[in-house]
Amino acid sequence: MSEKQLLNVTDGSTLGNIEIAPEVIEVIAGIAVSEVSGVASMRGNFASGVVERLGKKNHGKGVKVELTENGIIIDAFVVMDYGISIPDTAQKIQDNTRQALKNMTALEIKEINVHIVGIQMDSKEDEPEFEEA
């Protein structure tokens, strides 16, 4: 059985160790990404979709955290709103995620990769309404 990978955070204190699970980093990053205007949703898998339909919010959905020797790599998979500037919004996602993780965990992130997996069209405004005769 594989041991769960935890991230040790040391601040020079002699009181003990601080360990942060990668799932915690996923949740913090997921919330930070979803706060950015222009992000319609996050990509999840089938299981997270079922869980959300049952009423439980999965804040880590659409975020993958990889702990390497060189640092932490975060991949965010997002669906953007139609009509926004993708480069500007992606930069805001990176900035907001980096700032949230720095404030909450004091961790330095090596990479934050933003993957645009779709565009959300606003179908209610685009579709003309027809009246039946």
**Consecutive 10-residue runs of the chain (133 residues): their mean pLDDT?**
61 75 92 93 57 52 88 93 95 96 91 94 59 55
What is the per-residue pLDDT for 125? 52
- For the domain spanning 22-121, the CATH number is 3.30.70.1350
**Residue 132 backbone phi and psi in degrees, to 5:** -80, 140
What is the per-residue pLDDT for 2? 43
Question: What pTM, to 2 d.p., does this model score?
Answer: 0.73
Tokens standing for residue 3: 């041991």
What is the per-residue pLDDT for 114? 96
Q: Which residues of 18-106 form beta strands (DSSP E)?
A: 18-20, 39-42, 63-68, 71-81
Q: By C-alpha distance, which of 32, 43, 105 is closest to 72?
A: 105
